[in-house]
Structure 1
Amino acid sequence: MSKNLQNRRQLRPVDLAREHGLSTQAIRNYEAAGILPDAERTPHGYRTYTPLQAHALRAFLALVPGYGHQMAASIMQAINRDATEDALTLIDESHAQLLDDRHTLRAVEAALRDLSPEPQERGDTFVGPLARRLGIRPATLRKWERAGLVQPRRDPQTDYRVYSAADVRDARLVHQLRRGGYLLEQIAPLIAQVRSAGGVAPLESMMRDWHARLSARGRAMLTGAAALDIYLGRRPDPVRRQAD
């Protein structure tokens, strides 16, 4: 935030907007959504902001790259309704998700190191049990089948889908890559490569990119948390505010 804005007690929506290359309507929308604390009004009904709103906007925009727009909005909304503990819980959950994604990446790398079925994957299974094992809906498995990512055979008597151990391996790999943010059309050639046992070299660049994106997300979370801490430090104490 520029020193000019910090030193001014009253700010217009356009002052906040120019600082970040936004429109004044975006500033009003953020206020209406509870992302910014409520502005005061002049006798003529015009909004007047203070450096507090400017810090709130800066915190929100800093949170978005690491936490996503919706989560950043939820964090700011919780703080602005004096539910700081709720906001901190959301932050903790986001960091837990990042850690889980790192575990997922390691699981993908482990799966690629050994493309044979896991020892516990003995015999065939059906769509329901496999969906439950992966924590997805049966419809998702059928969607992957239509995309050619899994290729279960059909039981000749019941016409049920039957997944072999290799099919389960493919489904596990698809599930892990989807959690990594990859699209079905990006995954298809990788699954084909796995099936052909032609090696995992084409996957190495994807793994490096995935590592880089997780690291960038972690750094962005730190940057957002730092801006949020500044905003929290400038907010009036809710107990004292109620007493006043």
Structure 2
Amino acid sequence: MHFERKDLSDEQLLHFYRSLLLPRMIEEKMLVLLRQGRISKWFSGIGQEAIATGVALALEQDEWIMPLHRNLGVFTTRNMPLHKLVKQWQGHKDGYSKGRERSFHFGSKAHHICGMISHLGPQLAVADGAALAHKLRRENKVAVAFTGEGGTSEGDFHEALNIAAVWDLPVIFIIENNGYGLSTPVEEQYRSESLAERAKGYGMDGIKIDGNNILSVFDTVKG
């Protein structure tokens, strides 16, 4: 893996490292709590922290993000209070949405994070809406939505890409390809060499990068 620090200072690189480390440490603790029965469900993002963290670091604090259930790094990088997050995961009344939505099915308007939609594909259209608002207001901002390789097989994915291209919306779609859509391997999901190729069909730019390289993620999203 090749890292290009470009003009990033040592202080910034240390900040990137700490931003990567925090969600990993929390994840390890949450898996312990899961085994102890103190939380009912947890979708681990261990090994994928650089994607969520790198994207969140590249955006402005007031740009909307639509994360997935494995994107803890988005929440920690946006500095959401950890005590309230843990209460949410434990179903506590003092959590976000009073703990009713477990996992990451909740958002925070104050932190410009939109709660995930379980089907994964539909939230890309929500990002289109946020991007359209930016465009109509003539704001120099983007909206970002995450999905997985399994989500690209849904009709909502294609509708969202098409409208984003036709309306020239300031939106970025992040596809996290971890090899499986639940239990379905990529060989049964698509035949193209890379999911980035799908963007070409809609007249959009598609870029494939190493999701474990936080500097590559940051540079690509930052543009």
TM-score by length of 1: 0.27
TM-score, normalised to structure 2, is 0.29
By percentage of residues, which structure has more helix? 1
Q: Max radius of gyration: which structure?
A: 1
